Each structure stands twice: as C-alpha cells, then as structure tokens.
A and B are shown apart, each in its own frame.
Chain A
Amino acid sequence: MTHAAIGLVVIFGIVLLPVYLFLLAAFFGKPRAPGVAILMLGLPAGLLALSLAGMWLLGSALSLVVP
C-alpha cells in the first residue's frame, strides 16, 4: 500500500469504526426513536461545525496579530 492511501484506510477504515457503530446504534438500535436520535446527533454535528468555524475565526483573528 502506498503512503498516499494508508491514512484513509487507517483513519476512516479502522480508527473511526467505533464512531460508525455509534451512528448505526443511534438509528437502528432499540428503542427506535429517530427524532431523539437526530436531536442527539445534532449536537456533535453542530459542535463539529462550530469547531471548524472557530478554527477559521482563530486563523483570521491571528492574521491581524502576526506581522
């Protein structure tokens, strides 16, 4: 396997497996309550978006400080 592809397999194929399992359990595990599942999953999704936006904001703010 080339170096260019190994990270995709390691991260998205192995390391994140527990996260996929959690997502599957949220939607297909009993008791089934898609509304609650979506509501609860909205939190990590929102936090992820917030983190990325925060990173962009931090970079932009720091560009004003760094000469």
Chain B
Amino acid sequence: METEKLLKPIRETGIGFYAAAGALSVVALWMLAAWLYQLRNGLIVTGLRDWGVGYGAPWGVYIATFVWYIGIAHGGIAISAAIRLLRLEAYKPIARIAEVVTVISLMMAGANITFDIGRPDRIFNMIVNYWSRVGHSPLVWDVTVILIYMVLSISYLVISMRDDIAALRRRLPRLFAPLYALVLFGYHPEEREKREQMLWWLALALICLMTLLSGGVVPWLFGLMVSQAGWFSALQGPYFLIGALASAIAAIIVVVFLVRRVLGWEKEISAEVFSGLSKPLAVLLIAYLYLVLQEQLTILYAGPPAEQSISHALLFGHFAPLFWMVIGVMAVSVAYLGLQWLGALPPSVGRTAIAAAGVVAALWVKRVLIVVPTFLYPRLPYPTGIYVPTWVEWSLFLGTVALAVLLFMGFSKMFPLMEMEVRR
C-alpha cells in the first residue's frame, strides 16, 4: 500500500492533470513565440532602454525575475541539505520536492538571463573569453558559481534517487527506461555507504555555496556598482541572502501545500512540517524588514542626493504604492505567522500557504524595486527616467512560471516525489 501510494502519481493520470498541463503548455508556447518575436526585433520590443541619456532602465523584469528565481532555488537544496546534515527526520517527506524546486528554479533563472541579453547568439563568447573576464567581472563570477551550483544540485538530486529507482525500476513507466538507465549507470547496492558519505559532504558544500552565492556573488552584481545609487552598499550581501531564504521557504511551503492537496498526502506530509517551516520564515521576514529600515533610515538621514531621490521615490513617490504593498504583505504575514507560532491563533496549513504565497509575490515586486529605480534616478543630472514593461516581458515572465510548473508536473510523472526511505 505504501509503495502503491508513492507510485500513484506516476502510474495514474487524471483529466485534471491533462487539463492543467494543456493550459500551461499554451502559456509556455506563447512565451516561446514572444521570445522569437523579441529575438527577431531586438530588445526594442521590451520596455528596456538605456539609462541616463536614454531616460530608461536597461534592467527590468528579466533581471528582477532572475534574482527571484535564484532566491527560490536556494531554499530547496538548503532545506534538503539541512535535513541530511542535521538529521531533521520530520522534514524528510519534503526533501525531494525541495530539491526539484531548486533545479527547476535555477533553469528558469538561466532562461531569464538569456532573455535579457541583447545578442544571446553570442552567449558562448562568455566562455571563449572566460579567463580574461573572470578576474574583474561580477557577471562572469555569477555565471561560474550558478553553473557549478546547478550542476551540483542536479547531481545531488540524481545521486540521492539511485536506490529508489533501483528498487522501483520494474514498476516505473517503460517509456522512461533510458532515463532510469542513465540514473542507475554503474549502480551496485554496495555503493550505498560511500554514496551516503559523498551526499553528506555534497549537502555541506551546497549549503556553503548557497550562502556564498545568494549572500555574495548575486548581490555583488549590485553592491559593487559604485556608479549606481541605491546599490553600492555592503548591506547587499545579508539583504539578498535573507530575501532569498525567505522567498525560498515561502515557495517551498506553497509547492508542498499544492502537492499535498493534489495527491492527498495529508498523512505523509504532516501539518507540523508547515508550522515548522513558517517559524524560520517569520524570523527571516522580521530580519528583512529590519534591513529595509536600516537602509532607508541611513539614506534619508544623510544620504547623497541621488540615493535620497531613490528613497523618496520608494517611500513617497512614484514607487510608493508598490513599496508599501510589499511592506504591508510582509508585515501581515509576519503578524499572522507570529501569532500562530505563539499559539494566539490556531495553526492552519491553508492560511500558512496563503501567507507564504503573499510573501513569494511580494518578494518578486521587491526585486523589481531593487533593480529598476536606480536607473530612473541616475547620479548624473539627467531627467527622471521611465520604465513600463511591455507584453513581451510579461509573456516571458509568466511563461517561465508556467514552464516551471509544467517541468515539476513532468518530473512527478517520471520519478517518485518522496524518498522510499521515508516510507520504510
């Protein structure tokens, strides 16, 4: 019965799955069509323009979405690695789901970077000229570390599945037999002890790499740019790291909630998993709000004029509705999760997931507010710029979300979403 339930999502496909997959495929295909249109006509079809003399923003929705996906990507492996390193048995049922979310989010992050490149056909030039760039270009640092992080994350996922696939191989769909053969390449049961030792060290490496990537390499893309008001700050590392972890835990809560609901795994994924994840999420949101206060107070009290104009735009001007919406959603989520934690409100899986979904959305908007304002309020005395994303940018953003869900659904039809060991 237990194994049957584990294999049920692979072996049985309902009409709801096909309907959802069909709808998501349409959105993903629309994304491809929009990208083709952008490739044929150039970035002029987006709202992106040169900053300063161009009165625009050369970075917008694509870069904000890239940062957002990178943040989500870090939670999955971090949660899974923490489960292995700290032996958090209660969270084991969600480990694989978290790993898959990481891998898919990293792919979508890569897609958004590719969308943002004016000449993506020259993407390999970055590798050709690698050694002359890596010494001084934070962009090349990003490519290096994200590529290694993605490769190690996929390896972690695949290596940790070998025993399960070996045990279930005969009962898995024949259609994907070549894929299972690849996962099991060179497999023999005696490898288990060495494999577990390597997975432990790989988990440790991934947690450290995640911290250095989300709290280092990605924020350095912004924090090292002395020319951009609002970015050049040592605060960017912890700011980005906390934002990444918060959006990641929130995204995992949402995905696990949906999987639990759709597959009827209420018994396998207990409500305690959600209350357990909601506590670090509440702490991270408080820390994030604290850093927003630190940043804005420092700028408003004695910041340089360009920094002050950005701060004014965020707090009282052009971006104020979005900024206060983000702060409001975070504050309400913290209040709800905190009251639930303190026992003043009854625990609720559904409401926790709603609060988490709010945080995921709010942190996407916050990434836009990190990326865009600095270009519209430049240090040099140019008029204030303008940036309005076009349908192409919205199509590509929503398309990656649809594609991410579609890939997750595809994975659920090929591999078990929960480790066999949990069941045993």
Contacts and interface: CB of A to CB of B under 8 A. Distances in A.
B424 interface: no
B191 interface: yes
Contacts of A55: 123-124, 127
Given A39-B186, A47-B151, A3 B191 contact: no
Interface string A1-43: 0011111101100111111011001100111010011011001
B332 interface: no
Contacts of A33: 191, 193-194
A59 B207 CA distance: 32
Contacts of B185: 39
Contacts of A14: 212
A26 B39 contact: no
Interface in B109-159: 114, 119-125, 127, 134-138, 140-141, 144-145, 147-148, 150-152, 154-155, 158-159
B195 interface: yes
Given A39-B186, A40-B198, A55-B127, A15 B145 contact: yes
A53 B124 CA distance: 9
Contact of A66 (B119, B193, B202): B119
Interface in B185-237: 185-186, 191, 193-195, 197-198, 201-202, 204-209, 212-213, 216-217
B40 interface: yes
A31 B121 contact: no
Nearest to A61: B121
Interface residue SS majority, chain B: helix
Interface residues of A, number: 42
Interface residues of B, number: 50
B135 A59 contact: no
Contacts of A36: 191, 194-195, 198
Contact of B159 (A19, A43, A56, A66): A43
Contacts of B208: 17-18
Interface of B: 36, 39-40, 114, 119-125, 127, 134-138, 140-141, 144-145, 147-148, 150-152, 154-155, 158-159, 185-186, 191, 193-195, 197-198, 201-202, 204-209, 212-213, 216-217
Interface of A: 3-8, 10-11, 14-19, 21-22, 25-26, 29-31, 33, 36-37, 39-40, 43-44, 47-48, 51-52, 55-56, 58-60, 62-63, 65-67
Given A16-B145, A18-B205, 20 more contacts: A4-B136, A6-B136, A7-B134, A7-B141, A11-B134, A11-B217, A14-B212, A15-B217, A22-B152, A22-B202, A44-B151, A44-B155, A51-B147, A51-B151, A55-B124, A58-B114, A59-B124, A60-B121, A63-B121, A66-B121
15 contacts: A4-B135, A7-B140, A18-B205, A18-B207, A18-B212, A19-B209, A22-B152, A22-B204, A26-B201, A33-B193, A39-B185, A43-B159, A51-B147, A62-B121, A62-B123
